[in-house]
Structure 1
């Protein structure tokens, strides 16, 4: 730094600095410029004031001249004396500003009119611009003792140039004085700034230029006289302090350089030793990398083995499940006694629960492999929630009330994946029912901004705060005693949270031990269709139920929206005679009501607790519905009751519509049980079915007959479904023939494998009659 300063300051000091670059010149220039601008502004202000004064003096002097001439002119006009009038007007022209004077009497007779030419000069345009080229004044004439007697008029034309020339002379002198003052001020400031600022600085620069950068302590700067306490003195003190610091720093650097040289020598020895150690470490690392690569390959092999195991397990379990559920569904289509129908329905629902558990295990493996795919289709979520709750109602403990509370403004359909939403609802509801032994389990569904909110609330055992995060881990529950007492795999909540995250939603929990739990799933499912308002019923409904029951809360929110007047009562004595329907949730109160009234009754009971037919007939008119009440079933029952229709059996199965009366379907299936299930279901749908047990036989049947649809099992002996489908597509004889895969492998790669083989659709076992009907409706043309 000091060397650079010396290079910049060497030479002859001030002589090396241009005059225009000197600090004194810059300060003087700035000061004079400011003074010049201010002086010019003040001069312009002075000129403006002078201009206004001069402009006023024009009219003032001319009016004074008119005032002097008024009385003589009035007497001349009164006497009508032309000679005196001429003498008066010539006298007025003696004024430099008057260029024309004219005197007329009261009869507009000109007594005198004289004028002279205007003065011409190079400054005249400026004067005319400022004051105008001329002005005309008139003075009505009258005598003092006769002010109301008009005698004539004196006209004067005024040339403004004499006044303008006088103003311009004064303005030029004002500006010239301002310039002169600025010049004098410039010289004085230059001299003062040089003596007070530039000369002391030049002295300091010279002292700095003569020093040696390598020896900053060779001397100290001397402060110029008279500047010990101003900025120059401070500059000299700071420079001397910097010299001291630089000298100390140079000595420290020299010492550090000597020590650094010593450290470098030692470092070379250390580096040599470490190099040998690194060579040995690299050899060990290469061996470790080889071991890691072998471990990675073993892990990949294990992952492939696990995927193959899950696929085989899915196939081996789903195949008998398909036969079991299919046979039970076919049995339920036949006329059966109520008790047997109830037992078969429970077995069928239990099989469905087993299928859901298998799906949970497979879905969890899909999450681990990153293979889960979500649909984005419209579906009725409210009905889905009610159907799921009805399916799980068989698991409700005695003394627990299960209620579905759907907001009246919930959309008729939303966009999303109905299968995954059903899993979320089923897992949350199954978890609530498992840990609730008394009280209520409520499923609430309502719209929110940007999606829907599903809430499952129970009055069960609750979850401690320290266990609320742990329960979302796979195969984990709140405590070891929970598994022993309540059972379960610990998969439901883990899968539910993963599904919510996959949908970009959130799952929240609020729980307190002994007071129940509340699980809330907020899912971004946009509304697809608005809810349709049902036809109002217009009747009066009463209920004998507890004030805190789920049935009362459901009726209170639903019945007014249907146009019904609703009221809750504690006893039959308070029920009005105009009530059209009485709702009960207690079988014990039924007989008491019938002793005092024959009002139509709707009995709401738990799953499987319906009155036998004989007892129900004895209590007629009586209608029965199972909890949880669904909106559709309740509306249909209310509509039927209010129209006076008889009650239907609560377990009656509606007849299946014949969707495809003339559809010819080729069923390719090697398992005898699954053959019976599929043929039975298709027969119930009104389809004509031909059977083939493997691919070669299927190709032969296609050569012999024409079919509308082929249901192709994938795993068969001799020729499997993939090869048979490829042969069908290669031959080209059946270009529009739809082929639907029937497979028990529910892994995601199975769907792609079927599509690659040329199949049009995919139906996983076990399938329901509704699923089979949907496939037939999709691929078989409508019969004429």
Structure 2
């Protein structure tokens, strides 16, 4: 019953096709639309031709009327008969198109002038648009036997609406006829298409709707009369073939369903068996997940324990190291004999190596834990490279020339992390100085689009090609003999490579055993400010040096850029009669033979610690001495003082007076007696007054009693630690601008943030050097006096 009802509803729906959706309507609509467009185009063409004919007929009729009136008007003008002229123009005005007529003689006297109002209509604007509002015609008057004698002129003013109205009526009839023809054609085509196409299709659709879909083999459509061999007949034939195919396919599907039912029964049995196996597997998997979760928790606990261990070891190692290095530094400032000074210097250098090793291990742990954070601040990379090279120059062998070669166009400031960049420069340069005993070590700095390129080249022992692939791994060197002969842990290059990758840069090596090495670090540090040209100097500078020396290359690069006339000589004999304003040399042997011959000021460039003593320097006066590597700013100031004539003695005295007036009052909060002695000794040598507090509570008491310019705060102390003391200082509101600098032996990255959160302004890790302490005081107490 449901199937029969569905069939009835389907058949009824198909019979109720909307009129505008039927094929007969669509075909008739398209046919009539095309016919209507063609009829309209033909009507418009006919109207256009009629318009051209009507437009020409206006001129033709008026010319004919003027031709008829020519002879009478000529006689009237000849006789100057105003009465006849009035009759003639009045007669012309009887024409419906003429609204004015006037006649003048050869003396321009008006013999007659008649007119009447023009005809008004709502369609007049169309006529005026097509034919113009009015037209004027004139006929010069003369006798046919005297064509050269002018008698006067007959004027006619024509209202074109009489012709335009006639044209518009014909155009209206033409368009109306075309529309009626299209409408009749539409009705005829609708009837034809309905009986020839729509009605047979509706019968076929109705028969299809009534067919039995459950038994398609019993359903067979009959051909509509007269359509056995056309498209409709083909449709019926194809439908009957589909019924046969559907019957076959339904029978095949029934057979397949029977087989599928059998397969499903078998599958249920298999699934039941597999379900039992999966339950057992899930039980085993749950046990494995529990074991993995337990292993993960153990790994996290071990990572936390390692971090805590590194922090504790950093604190426990740095605290005695700070006392050890500080005491040695204080001893080195006291009077000592040569042997004692050498022994203490060796102990001090060994302690610094130990600090560097500790820093490298902590940095590697930061990489492993993903805790390394990079700053992005502007800094002068050229000055940073020169300062680092100057600090490391004491590690250079006596026969090694250390030179910093910086491109004159290198940016004044770049954006990046100056601490990590300094670490890269220090590691590469320390590595080059360690393995170079003779020749040169050059630090070259240049810029490329979007970054900087740092190259460290040496003439040392080189690295075999097979060892270059593993030197960037931690605790790895080129060979076992390297460690025994030169020392080191193999952490420096691994850490440098990690730092370059953290900055999205690249570290590469080019080396050959026995022929030196070249390390190149390309760092994407964008330019913050371009290079600032130095003030131009004037003068003649001569140099006595080897052409292959770093000094010669440096001078050839910078001196012409500063506007100086520069000339290099291989030996003193080549000077001859040259009289330079300044002589620069690194050849000490030639100075004593040269000084009696010339009085030119001399700049002697020597290795670190090889300055001439006072007596020998006095013999070569005027003499200035600078240690390698020669920094650009130091060289420029020396040239400026020499060439312009600044009173360097006065400047030094003024600078010394400023230092002597500088008295910063500092509160040192430290519980370790050794660290108290070290910090107090360093601060005293820097001209500072120091008060000591053993813990935070005592520091608060002293702050209430005495004003201080700076607080150096240890973090781990009894009674009250440095964090709590700093928080109370900030919360009190009595010292809002008092600088507090943390002194801590914990060098882990989270320690800096913890100090800032407690209200401290800066951070200094133990062990610290006097230069670092002085830089802090210069920053936070720039001009302090008692």
TM bracket (short chain): 0.7 to 0.9
Alpha-carbon distance in structure 1 between the residues aligned to 2:605 and 2:242: 98
Contact 2:726/2:740 (<8 A) preserved = no
Q: What's 1:302 paired with? A: 302
Counterpart mapping for 1:309-708 below 5 A:
309-333=309-333, 348=348, 351-396=351-396, 401-434=401-434, 440-447=440-447, 452-458=452-458, 471-476=471-476, 487-500=487-500, 502=502, 504-509=503-508, 511=510, 513=512, 516-524=517-525, 527=528, 531-545=531-545, 547=547, 549-570=549-570, 572=572, 575=575, 577-586=578-587, 600-608=601-609, 610=611, 622-642=623-643, 658=659, 661-691=662-692
**Residues 232-275 of structure 1: CA deviation (Å, up to 9, x unaligned):** 68867876776676556545543443343333323333333333
Secondary structure of 1:179's partner?
helix
Q: CA deviation at 1:618?
A: 5.7
Pair 1:69–1:162, CA change in 2 (3 A)? same
Q: What's 1:52 paired with? A: 52
Alpha-carbon distance in structure 2 between the residues aligned to 1:579 and 1:224: 123
Contact 1:663/1:687 (<8 A) preserved = yes
Alpha-carbon distance in structure 1 between the residues aligned to 2:442 and 2:158: 107
Contact 2:700/2:725 (<8 A) preserved = no
Gap runs ≥5 in structure 2: 650-654
Secondary structure of 2:281's partner?
helix
Q: What's 1:763 paired with? A: 764
Contact 2:730/2:759 (<8 A) preserved = no
Alpha-carbon distance in structure 2 between the residues aligned to 1:412 and 1:307: 39
Pair 1:299–1:108, CA change in 2 (3 A)? closer
Q: What's 1:651 paired with? A: none
Alpha-carbon distance in structure 1 between the residues aligned to 2:750 and 2:126: 99
Q: CA deviation at 1:626?
A: 3.0
Q: CA deviation at 1:679?
A: 2.0
Contact 1:711/1:739 (<8 A) preserved = yes
Secondary structure of 2:636's partner?
helix
Gap runs ≥5 in structure 1: 649-653
Between 323-332 and 678-687, the greater mean CA deviation after superposition: 323-332
Contact 1:695/1:724 (<8 A) preserved = yes
RMSD of aligned residue pairs (Cα, Å)? 4.7
Pair 1:28–1:712, CA change in 2 (3 A)? closer
Q: What's 2:652 paired with? A: none
Q: CA deviation at 1:748?
A: 3.4
Secondary structure of 2:521's partner?
strand
Secondary structure of 2:154's partner?
strand
Pair 1:496–1:606, CA change in 2 (3 A)? same
Pair 1:168–1:610, CA change in 2 (3 A)? same
Contact 2:700/2:729 (<8 A) preserved = no
Secondary structure of 1:359's partner?
helix
Between 153-162 and 707-716, the greater mean CA deviation after superposition: 707-716
Pair 1:206–1:707, CA change in 2 (3 A)? closer
**Residues 754-776 of structure 1: CA deviation (Å, up to 9, x unaligned):** 56777665432112223333444
Alpha-carbon distance in structure 1 between the residues aligned to 2:436 and 2:234: 87
Q: CA deviation at 1:390?
A: 1.8
**Residues 375-404 of structure 1: CA deviation (Å, up to 9, x unaligned):** 455543322111111222344457654332
**Residues 620-670 of structure 1: CA deviation (Å, up to 9, x unaligned):** 65544333221122223333444689999xxxxx97964775544444445
Pair 1:681–1:51, CA change in 2 (3 A)? same
Q: CA deviation at 1:499?
A: 3.5
Q: What's 1:743 paired with? A: 744
Alpha-carbon distance in structure 2 between the residues aligned to 1:727 and 1:14: 88
Normalising to structure 1: TM-score of the pair? 0.82
1:782 aligns with 2:784: yes
Q: CA deviation at 1:538?
A: 1.0
Counterpart mapping for 1:72-221 below 5 A:
72-82=72-82, 84-86=84-86, 88-89=88-89, 91-93=91-93, 95-113=95-113, 127=127, 130-132=130-132, 134-143=134-143, 149-187=149-187, 189-190=189-190, 193=193, 197-198=197-198, 201-202=201-202, 205=205, 208-209=208-209, 211-216=211-216
What count of residue pairs does the alignment treat as equivalent?
Answer: 774
Q: What's 2:263 paired with? A: 263
**Residues 588-628 of structure 1: CA deviation (Å, up to 9, x unaligned):** 66678679866554444444555566665666655443332
Secondary structure of 1:682's partner?
helix
